[in-house]
Amino acid sequence: MFESSVAQPQVKKRLFIGLLLTSLLTIVGLTLLLWYLFFQPATIIQKAVLIIFIGAIILTVLVIAFGIGGIVFTIWRAKTINFLQPMMRISISLLFPVVVGLGRLFKIDIDKIRGSFIEVNNQLVKTKRLKVRPSQLLILAPHCLQKSSCPHKITNDINNCKRCGSCTVDELLKIRDRYKVNIGFATGGTLARKYVKEYKPKAIVAVACERDLASGIRDSTPIPVLGVLNERPFGPCFNTKVSIPKLEEAVKYFIEEDYRGS
């Protein structure tokens, strides 16, 4: 029997978006400060270097502003804006460390920020309405879903699982068999990247904690990833669980109707 699981707290998309906007305003403030310094006494060379630097920052700010605008508009309208996709990716890539830094400054739980980012990402992915064949979908799951006392380790060979039902690994393998998708159980980012390189998926359903999911989503760009948070009734990285209905819902979202199991 499974121990009772601990549900993860719900997070709002607006937390990450709000911190993105705050990060943008911080960069704008830095630009204004540099512009002020431009009018202070300095050599011609110093002014030339400063104006180049200011120009680069202004260009970056414009790209980020369009990217954040694209994120907000996409979520609001539930519709992908193709020409803004590169700027949206650049915005998240450049500002994510700034967002985390601001979170620490304002004493916001970093996992809440990561969870909000995952919600934003999932919403953006769903607006694309991407459908793939089963062979083009990869489920990535952490090895800690396997019961720690199990002697049949699955990281080297998934088929070592004896399907006894003592942990959620059996349920994940049932989904693999039902939908004929690929699956990999990873011990970390290196092995996860190995699975991505091996299967070359067009879409990924990833199960992990907030930290690993946020990192994996950004590392997998531009491959779309739907993230499903694991449940940690015994603490991180030990006998974790995952909501099978949520996982199956994510898989069904990507799989074309004609290839779904009954």
What are 219-251's pLDDT values in tens digits? 998 999 999 999 999 988 899 999 999 999 999
Task: Look at residue 62 in the predicted model and tell me its pLDDT.
Answer: 94
CATH 1.10.1740 matches 134-259 = no
Other Cβ atoms within 10 Å of 34 Cβ, number: 15
Q: Is the pLDDT score of 101 beyond 90?
A: yes
Confirm if 179 and 133 have CB atoms less than 8 A apart.
no
Q: CB-hemisphere CA count at 13 Å for 156?
A: 4
Q: Please determine, for residue 2, whether its predicted confidence score (pLDDT) is greater than 50.
A: no
The reported pLDDT for the residue numbered 143 is 93
8 confidence band (pLDDT: 50, 70, 90): very low
What confidence score (pLDDT) does residue 155 get? 84
Confidence band, pLDDT 50/70/90 cuts, at residue 21: very high
Q: How far apart are CA 107 and CA 226, in angstroms?
A: 28
Q: How far is CA 42 from CA 38, 46, 54, 77, in A?
A: 8, 6, 15, 49
222: preceding bond cis by omega (within 30 degrees):
yes
Any idea how long the chain is? 262
Pick from 223, 214, 185: nearest CA to 99: 214
Report whether 121 contacts 225 (CB < 8 A): yes
**Distances, alpha carbon 123 to alpha carbons 75, 226, 256, in Å:** 7, 9, 19
Average pLDDT, the chain: 89
User: Could you give the residue ranges of the DSSP H alpha helices within the chain?
Assistant: 13-38, 44-77, 85-105, 110-127, 169-179, 189-199, 210-220, 244-254
Whether the CB-CB separation of 155 and 106 falls below 8 Å is answered with: no
The backbone torsions φ and ψ at residue 50, rounded to the nearest 5 degrees and listed phi first, read -65, -40
Tell me, what amino acid is at 197? K
Strands in 137-142's sheet, in edge-to-edge order, are: 182-186, 137-142, 203-208, 225-229
Q: Tell me how far apart the terminal alpha carbons of the chain are, to the nearest angstrom.
A: 27
pLDDT in tens, 33-92: 888 877 777 788 887 888 888 888 899 999 999 999 999 999 998 888 889 999 999 999
- CA–CA dist 193, 197 (Å, integer): 6
Placement of tokens 């915005």 in the chain: 91
Whole-prediction pTM: 0.87
pLDDT of residue 63: 95
Distances from the Cα of 116 to the Cαs of 2, 11, 56, 99, in angstroms? Answer: 28, 6, 30, 11
Query: How confident is the model over 92-119, as a mean pLDDT?
Result: 95
Give the separation between CA 243 and CA 231, rounded to whole angstroms: 8
pLDDT score of 4 more than 50:
no
The C-alpha angle with vertex 12 and arms to 137 and 238, in degrees rounded to 5, equals 60
Predicted confidence at residue 35, as pLDDT, reads 82
Segment 140-165 mean pLDDT: 91
Over range 135-163, report the average pLDDT. 92
Q: Where in the chain is the domain with CATH 3.40.50?
A: 134-259
Q: Note the pLDDT tens digit of each residue in 55-64.
A: 888 999 999 9
